[in-house]
Amino acid sequence: MSIFSLKRGYLRLLLVILLILTCLGMARLQLWRAETRGERFEREQAALVSTPISLSARQREREKLLDRTATARGRWLAAKTLFLDNKIHGSRAGYHVLTPLQLSGSEVVVLVNRGWVPAPRLRSELPPVTSPSGEIEIVGVTRSFETRTFELQKTPPQGAVWQHVREADYRELSGLDALPVILLQTGAESDGLIRDWGSPENPATRHYGYAAMWLAFALMAAAYGLFAWRKK
């Protein structure tokens, strides 16, 4: 065997080892995601069956409000309604409708995701949304504002159609004193909005599947490396 062939064989072996280590690293990452996201899912599900909390102006601790079944009483600030863009339901494009609810007896609001509405034929038009006047009480599930999103260039939202709703942006541009969570409204759909928040599925299952896939890739790389080494 020539020195050139020997060097090429060792280089191939090194590349195979690097590939195996990379696959094992990706499998470990997916196992970590399965663990952390699975724990969060279990906390969310436990919170949903706990006693509902009543949102008020005094509640400002995000961690105590997050992922809870909650009720809120107040009146809609319909003029402040936002439309969250690029939301698909049943293969049809539309918006999520977000309207602040001013809590009774205060100036504080909670931003409510009221559900999905189909987009009009023209992008220049906004879908009509009915907002009952007077004091109402709604029920929902609290979720966080968006925190991390990938954007080539961050531009501040303009108008009523937003691509993302971050807490800092919302406070600054709306001028409202908002609670640090968004309320996903549940219950009857008498206002014509579709409140389909999806069936509960533990995300850990998906990440365990990804981990198994990377382990399979590592085994395939090891088998190829062993075959190539013996063939020399």
Both 93 and 173 in a single domain?
yes
What residue type is 26 in one-letter code? M
Whether 182 and 82 map to the same domain: the answer is yes
| The model scores a pTM over 0.75 | no
Q: Would 48 be classed as within a structural domain?
A: no
Domain count within the chain: 2
Burial 6-42 (b: 16+ CB within 10 A, else e): eeeeeeeeeebeebbeebeebbeebbebbeeebeebe
CA distance 30 to 208: 7
Q: What is the pLDDT of residues 97-140, one digit of tens each?
A: 999 999 999 999 999 999 999 998 888 888 889 888 899 999 99
Residues 168 and 117 in one domain: yes
The tens digit of pLDDT for each residue in 65-87 reads: 888 889 999 999 999 999 999 89
Are 184 and 158 found together in one domain? yes
Same domain, 213 and 189: no
